[in-house]
Structure 1
């Protein structure tokens, strides 16, 4: 089963795309938990972690599907999967920073945090997508 999106790319509802989505969200959550822990919040401060995770989740969900990260041919080639994942993450971080700037989410927007988000979150997502691409290609 697939769901068409506004730009005609597809989100295919399958075990493979569910696994990809779960891994993506786990990588983003790991980024948030690592960051929260490094700023004197405990890894079990659920309220803080949920508030920090939400804008990144919104950004990711707005961009990942239309970009084809959950299409029937996902993850695709290693080079394409890595490049698309990084580009989607950069846009998702921009959306997250814009949301954080509204005051609806904790932390506010900061260029330094955006850079750290792109680098650390991008690394975690890229590593996950490399593992998924190699594993699913078998």
Structure 2
């Protein structure tokens, strides 16, 4: 009757979704890097790589946790855009909120601003949805 953690994760992680995971994390890293460059200049990536990485971590962590919990890397998500994109949206919203919360905490720099919350929610979602749509257009 009861389920173990292994079966819970087995239902949410499928090897066929690995290309989606790689693309998701690359797209989010790209969006966040573009924002970092727009605010700090490209030289800051090389002058302060730790600051750049710490800009990425809260949101990649948030997406990683909620993407898995929601099932964005499940067998169904790896089959069609129709299944994958809604899972992506449902995972990104709490993932971004967790990222924003981490950014507002003493653990990370950046603080919280409503405009940034709106921008990261929208641009992150757009990047993830566009990537997944393109992925399924290409692979058929």
- TM interval, shorter chain, is 0.7 to 0.9
> In the alignment, what sits opposite 1:68?
71
Please state whether the residue corresponding to 2:78 is helix, strand or coil: coil
Structure 1 residues not aligned, in runs of 5+? none
Residue 90 (1) aligns with residue 93 (2): yes
Larger Rg over CA atoms: 2
* Counterpart contact for 2:76–2:83, Cα < 8 Å: no
Helix, strand or coil at the partner of 2:137? helix
CA spacing shift, 1:109–1:5, aligned 2, 3 Å: farther
Structure 1 residue aligned with 2:11: 9
Say which SS state the counterpart of residue 71 (structure 1) adopts: coil
Query: How many matched pairs?
Result: 132
Q: Residues 77 and 17 from structure 1, CA distance in 2 versus in 1: closer, same or farther, beyond 3 angstroms?
A: closer
Worse-matched range after superposition: 95-104 or 74-83 = 74-83
Partner of 1:33: 33
- Report the Cα offset of residue 49 of structure 1: 1.8
Quote the RMSD (CA, aligned, Å): 1.9
SS at the partner of 2:13? strand
User: d(CA) in 1 for partners of 2:102 and 2:131?
Assistant: 25
| 1:9 to 1:39, Cα distance in 2 relative to 1, 3 A | same
TM-score by length of 1: 0.84
More helix by share: 2
